[in-house]
Structure 1
Amino acid sequence: MSYLLTQLANGLSYGLVLGLIAVGFVIVFTATGVLNFAHGSVLLTGAYLVAVLQPTIGFWAAAVAGVAGAAVLGVLVNAVLVRNLAEANPGTAAILMLGVDILLLTELTRRIGNRVLPLGAPWGADVVALGGVRLPAARVIAAGVAIVLFVLLWFLFARTRAGVAMRAAAADGDTAALMGIRLSRTGAAGWALAGGLAAVAGIFLTSFPSPGVAPTVALSAFAAIPAWVLGGFDSVPGAIVGGLVIGVATSLTVGYEAQLHFLGNGIGEVVPYAVMILVLLVRPSGLFGRKEAIRV
């Protein structure tokens, strides 16, 4: 029983980290209508900055710098590339983001090489015992930080003028512009917020179970895509729920892989996409996504 509870707790904490990444996808999509396939490289950039800076300025200052650097990178991608698209076409923007992802990942891979850069996280390999469940401290801290950030996001979108402006721009950009809301400003804020969230997720993904920062960390963002699609392209609560569903499903599959050997090795890597497909067959707009009205 304790083993099952451990796997569930691991899945929930991992799902919350995936939710941070998935929420970034949602914010960029609702703010600018872009499928941000460069999100993985932004995540890796934030983690890389932390690993490079922490020997000089310490972990906490490096973490702040990494989050800020990822946020600035998001703003630059939006300002230099997305806003200058000749035609606001989602397909063109998605292809553009794939190109940005390849360029950033290539440069970061060149800089990192075949090394694994230590993150210098103060919690290290500590373990926290909660009843009969023993969890890595990194997972417990990640869950706590993610929950705090989700509460802050709720406050931002529900209680502040900037958040209301972002919601209005996402719901109807033309009407929001007529009401005096600057779409360029809300778009930049959305990209900055998504970049910062990705960097926070990157810090926890590179402290456990990964021993440090390596180019393969960028693939973690792609693991969050099923969570994003599952919850609905435009739903922040859906992204969080989607992350939890994918996290628990992945953790249980990996934890009981020996009993599921008939499904083949590495089934845990496939489960997120299988769950996504099954849900989309029933609800094409995702669990919380808005259905578009079709007038006839």
Structure 2
Amino acid sequence: MSTAAEIVLNGLALGSVYALVSLGFVIIFKASAVFNFGHGSLLLLGGYLTAVLHEHLGFAAALAVAVIATAAVAAAIERLLLRNTDPHAAHTLTIITIGVDIVLMTDLARRIGGDLLSLGDPWGNGIVEFAGVTVAQSRLASIVAAVIVIGAVFAVFRFTSWGLSLRAAAEDREAAALMGIRLERIRMLAWCLAGALAAIAAVFLTAFPSAGLERTTGHIALAAFPAAVLGGMTSPTGALLGSLLIGVTEALCAGYQTELSALGSGFSDVAPYAVMVLVLMFRPTGLLGTKETVRV
């Protein structure tokens, strides 16, 4: 029983980190109707900056700089590469993000090489034991941090003029523009926020029991993409629900891989996509996604 509890708790911790990443996917999609496949490279950038700066600035200051810098890079991508492209050509914008991902990922992989970088997080390899359950301190910290950060993001959505404008633009961009909402500003701030969330997520994806930051760490963001699709690309709440479901599923498949050996030893890596496909077969718009209506 304690083993099952540990697996579920680790799955919730992993899902909470996925939620930070998938929320970035959803925010950008709501603001600009773009699937940002460059999100993994932003995550890797935030982690890399934290890793190289923490010895000189300390962990907290290094993370703050990394969050700001990653948000600035995300804003620059939107401003310099995407804004002058036809906003109705979503497929073109999506392809551009793939190109951005290749360029950033290649440069960061060259800088990291074969090293494993530590981000200097304060939890180290600490372990907490309670009621027969053993869990890493970093896992508990990831849950607490995700609750605080995601709660703050939802508060921004609900109580700020930017959040109201974002929701209005997501419903009807043309009507929002006619009402005086500055869509360019909405998109840029959305990219900034998504970049900041990716940098925070990098800390917990590389903390113990993970080995550290490596050049392939950015690919983990691809596991959060099914969570965003699963929840519904227009629903932040759906992204949160989908992330928790994906995290627990992945943890269960990894924890019981012996029993699931018939599905292959690496089934936990493809489990997020399997769950996504199964759900979309019955709910094409995702768990909390809304159907698009067309007036004729």
Verify: 1:255 aligned to 2:251, yes or no: no
d(CA) in 2 for partners of 1:106, 1:259 = 38
What whole-Å deviation, never above 9, does each CA across 1:179-215 have from its counterpart, x for those lacking one?
A: 2211111111100000000111111101133222111
d(CA) in 1 for partners of 2:87, 2:161 = 30
SS at match of 1:215: coil
Q: Which residue of 1 aligns with 2:129?
A: 129
Distance change (3 Å), C-alpha of 1:93 and 1:149? same
Compare 122-131 and 213-222 and name the one that shifted more.
Answer: 122-131
SS at match of 1:81: helix
SS at match of 2:135: strand
Q: Which residue of 1 aligns with 2:140?
A: 140
Q: Would you say the 8 A contact 2:51–2:119 is kept in 1?
A: yes
Q: Which residue of 1 aligns with 2:272?
A: 272
Q: Would you say the 8 A contact 2:125–2:209 is kept in 1?
A: no
Q: Would you say the 8 A contact 2:7–2:252 is kept in 1?
A: yes
Q: How many residues align?
A: 296
SS at match of 1:135: strand
SS at match of 2:117: coil
What whole-Å deviation, never above 9, does each CA across 1:198-241 have from its counterpart, x for those lacking one?
A: 11111110113322211110111001011011000111000000
Q: Which residue of 2 aligns with 1:104?
A: 104
State the Cα distance separating 1:42 from its structure 2 match: 0.3
Amino acid at match of 2:125: A
Amino acid at match of 1:158: R
d(CA) in 2 for partners of 1:100, 1:55 = 29
d(CA) in 1 for partners of 2:33, 2:249 = 29
Q: Which residue of 2 aligns with 1:85?
A: 85
Verify: 1:114 aligned to 2:117, yes or no: no
State the Cα distance separating 1:133 from its structure 2 match: 1.5
What whole-Å deviation, never above 9, does each CA across 1:156-191 have from its counterpart, x for those lacking one?
A: 111111211121122112211222211111111100
d(CA) in 1 for partners of 2:241, 2:24 = 14
SS at match of 2:203: helix
Q: Which residue of 2 aligns with 1:33?
A: 33
Q: Which residue of 2 aligns with 1:217?
A: 217
SS at match of 1:244: helix
Amino acid at match of 1:96: I
What whole-Å deviation, never above 9, does each CA across 1:49-99 have from its counterpart, x for those lacking one?
A: 000101111111001111111111110000001101146311111111111
Unaligned runs of 5+ in 2: none
User: TM-score, structure 2 length as denominator?
Assistant: 0.97
User: How do residues 175-190 of structure 1 correspond to structure 2 at under 5 angstroms?
Assistant: 175-190=175-190
Q: Which residue of 1 aligns with 2:199?
A: 199
SS at match of 1:129: strand
Unaligned runs of 5+ in 1: none
d(CA) in 2 for partners of 1:294, 1:186 = 24
d(CA) in 1 for partners of 2:16, 2:249 = 13
d(CA) in 1 for partners of 2:171, 2:52 = 40
